[in-house]
Amino acid sequence: MHATAFDSPHTERMKIRPAQLDDAAAIRAVNLDAFETSAEADLVDALCARAAPIVSLVAEDAGTIVGHILFTPMTLDSNPDLNVMGLAPMAVLLERQQQGIGSALVRAGLEECWRLGAPSVAVLGHSTYYPRFGFVPASRFGLQSDYDVPDDVFMVIEREPGALAGGHGVLRYHHVFAEFGL
């Protein structure tokens, strides 16, 4: 993926680009700022070290990383060969939220997942936020989360209609999530 720029009413020019190794401290700082505990920051560090393939993108404004999104492989019990990616976590600095940065990260991340050949992406997230990108409840495809969550917050999006046809059962996040109680 090449860096993509987007205009926002709150910034001159924001750039979404693949995360680099030397971005690790800034990515950690974004996650520490965006979440109440260090669990998500610790999770990102572990996933970046141990999961593959991953899609890790940053939002950069004037040389400062202000957002990060991560996609990691998931496993479907009934079809372990299906290459589903899980979106988690996504973080934007508190002072930069509500400026379109998260939306730009989601769109760029989905494009990168599609480019890598993933037929679908799943997310455990806000039921009023993710549908704007095309996410629908995973239960429509006979899929359940490995976490006990309400039906409307575990969602999937297909790259092409029918990508999840025949899929059913439990869709599991990378095993590193369980190590962090997430």
Query: Across the chain, what does the average pLDDT equal?
Result: 92
Residue-wise pLDDT for 76-110, tens only, equals: 999 888 889 999 999 999 999 999 999 999 999 99
Res. 181: pLDDT tops 90: no
* Domain layout of the chain by residue ranges: 4-179
Question: pLDDT value at position 13?
Answer: 79
Question: pLDDT value at position 7?
Answer: 47
* Homologous superfamily of domain range 4-179: Gcn5-related N-acetyltransferase (GNAT) (3.40.630.30)
Residue-wise pLDDT for 152-165, tens only, equals: 999 999 999 999 98
Interior angle at CA 148, CA 122 and CA 77, nearest 5: 55
pTM attached to this predicted model: 0.91
Task: Tell me the pairing of strands 4-8 and 55-61.
Answer: unpaired
Contact criterion met (CB below 8 Å) for 121 and 86: yes
Residue-wise pLDDT for 20-57, tens only, equals: 999 999 999 999 999 999 999 999 999 999 999 999 99
